């Protein structure tokens, strides 16, 4: 397994970068590959490997990470075969070190398979943060196993130690620091690109600490509606993105459906303190008052919202200007093409939804670098 640890380190880098980044779904990702490899211990090998494997097989960063898992698995399995062949005819200390190392390598195979399973769960829209946390945990465990394997040969002289180190080497002690730096650098680059040469719209305002702000919007045309819902915390970090598509009678009904989708998601996630924002003043007014002229078609939808609302005393519904609600508007427009109903993996949403050069949607406070 030449450079087995290198590929596991590379995988860790890709996974952590993926958690932070709402990705562009272009057919190939040379820019993503170059940025990821720039932070690797061996950039040239990283670039060559991912370019040859990843560009043909991956259309999203998630798929690129899956490719990296498979490459890592192949290298670990080859190393296991090599260590099995070495066992015969060795001294007691060498046999003991080889036996321990084989067990560690077997654990690495199992942990990398679990990493792959966590990444594949994202295809089904499972909770993004939970699954990516699982993936990071398994990759970190695989790194630890490789390190432990090498430690067993520190007191052994001769060819066995040399052969093992040749196949399992370049352990990155600073892996956690490295991936943290890579994540911050990538997000800062996105924020800078969003702002270069563009006037910013009215900025989105953050909720108080301990609260979640959920922005909603709908796109409506000829009886078809698509909705976009974005959960963010007081730092501006995106927690969830939710989309849906519907048939409805008018734009007011579409806006009400977007709010209903937000309430349903917040209720299922047990989000206690929420500020909901919509740029449809009529719908917000109808929810907050017992009088006034409410759209007839939207009324049954508003009744469903009120029914959910009764179980959550710290929910508030507020009006937001269109210019400060741009991200959810762009998400609703994008939802037309994906027809996805539920929580969308953030890595599957194009960066242009949150930062469109023709229509800048966010300011730098939208991104969390901490």
| Residue 268, domain CATH | 3.30.420.10
Q: Give per-residue pLDDT as tens, 74-99.
A: 767 777 777 777 666 567 777 787 78
Co-location of 229 and 339 in the same domain: yes
Does residue 206 sit within a domain?
no
Q: Does residue 369 contact residue 184 with C-beta atoms inside 8 Å? A: yes
Tokens representing 35 are: 């940025």
Does residue 205 sit within a domain?
no
DSSP state of 317: E
Co-location of 304 and 242 in the same domain: yes
Q: Give per-residue pLDDT as tens, 159-201.
A: 666 666 665 554 333 333 333 343 344 445 555 555 543 433 4
Co-location of 8 and 152 in the same domain: yes
Measured between alpha carbons, how far is 183 from 13 in angstroms, rounded to an integer? 8
Domain range for 37 is: 4-195
Q: Give per-residue pLDDT as tens, 36-63.
A: 666 565 566 566 666 665 455 555 555 6
- pLDDT bracket for residue 126 (50, 70, 90): very low
User: What pLDDT is stored for residue 242 in this prediction?
Assistant: 95
Co-location of 88 and 113 in the same domain: yes
Measured between alpha carbons, how far is 218 from 341 in angstroms, rounded to an integer? 14
Co-location of 166 and 242 in the same domain: no
Domain end call among 168, 195, 222: 195
User: What pLDDT is stored for residue 166 in this prediction?
Assistant: 60
Q: How many distinct structural domains can be found in the chain? A: 2
Q: H or E element: which one contains 301?
A: helix 299-309
C-alpha to C-alpha distances, 283 to 139, 295, 304, 332, nearest whole angstrom: 47, 8, 13, 17
Does residue 147 sit within a domain?
yes
Of 35-49, 136-150, 218-232, highest mean pLDDT: 218-232
pTM for this one?
Answer: 0.50
For residues 12 and 304, the model is more confident at 304
User: What pLDDT is stored for residue 338 in this prediction?
Assistant: 80
Q: Which one, of 157, 245, 182, lies nearest residue 20 by Cα?
A: 182
Dihedral over Cα of 272, 275, 279, 281: its sign: positive
The CATH number linked to 56 is: 1.20.140.40
Domain end call among 195, 222, 244: 195
| pLDDT reading at 130 higher than 60 | no
Co-location of 128 and 228 in the same domain: no
């Amino acid at each position: 397994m030449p450079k087995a640890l290198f590929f596991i380190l590379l995988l860790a880098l890709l996974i952590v970068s993926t958690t932070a980044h709402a990705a562009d779904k272009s057919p190939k990702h040379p820019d993503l590959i170059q940025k990821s490899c720039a932070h690797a211990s061996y950039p040239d090998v990283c670039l060559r490997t991912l370019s040859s494997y990843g560009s043909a097989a991956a259309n999203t960063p998630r798929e690129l990470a899956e490719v990296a898992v498979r490459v890592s698995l192949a290298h670990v399995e080859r190393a296991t075969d090599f260590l099995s062949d070495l066992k015969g005819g060795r001294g007691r200390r060498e046999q003991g070190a080889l036996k321990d190392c084989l067990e560690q390598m077997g654990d690495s195979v199992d942990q990398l398979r679990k990493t792959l399973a966590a990444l594949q769960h994202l295809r089904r829209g499972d909770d993004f943060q939970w699954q990516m946390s699982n993936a990071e945990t398994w990759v970190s465990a695989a790194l630890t196993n490789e390190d432990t394997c090498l430690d067993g040969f520190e007191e052994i002289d001769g060819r066995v130690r040399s052969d093992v180190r040749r196949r399992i080497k370049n352990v990155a002690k600073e892996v956690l620091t490295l991936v943290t730096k890579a994540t911050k650098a990538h997000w800062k680059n996105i924020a800078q690109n969003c702002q270069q040469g563009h006037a910013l719209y009215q900025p989105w305002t953050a909720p108080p600490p301990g609260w979640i702000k959920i922005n909603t919007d709908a796109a409506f045309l000829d009886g078809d509606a698509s909705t976009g819902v974005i959960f963010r915390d007081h730092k501006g970090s995106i927690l969830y993105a939710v989309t849906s598509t519907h048939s409805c009678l008018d734009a007011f009904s579409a806006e009400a459906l977007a709010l209903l989708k937000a309430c349903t998601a917040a209720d299922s996630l047990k989000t206690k303190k929420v500020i909901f924002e919509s740029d449809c003043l009529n719908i917000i007014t109808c929810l907050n008052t017992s009088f006034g002229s409410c759209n007839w078609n939207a009324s049954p939808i508003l009744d469903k919202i009120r029914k959910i609302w009764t179980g959550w005393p710290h929910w508030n519904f507020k009006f937001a200007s269109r210019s400060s609600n741009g991200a959810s508007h762009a998400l609703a427009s994008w939802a037309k093409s994906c027809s996805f109903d539920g929580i969308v993996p953030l890595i599957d949403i194009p960066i242009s939804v949150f930062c469109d050069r023709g229509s800048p949607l966010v300011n730098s406070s939208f991104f969390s670098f901490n």
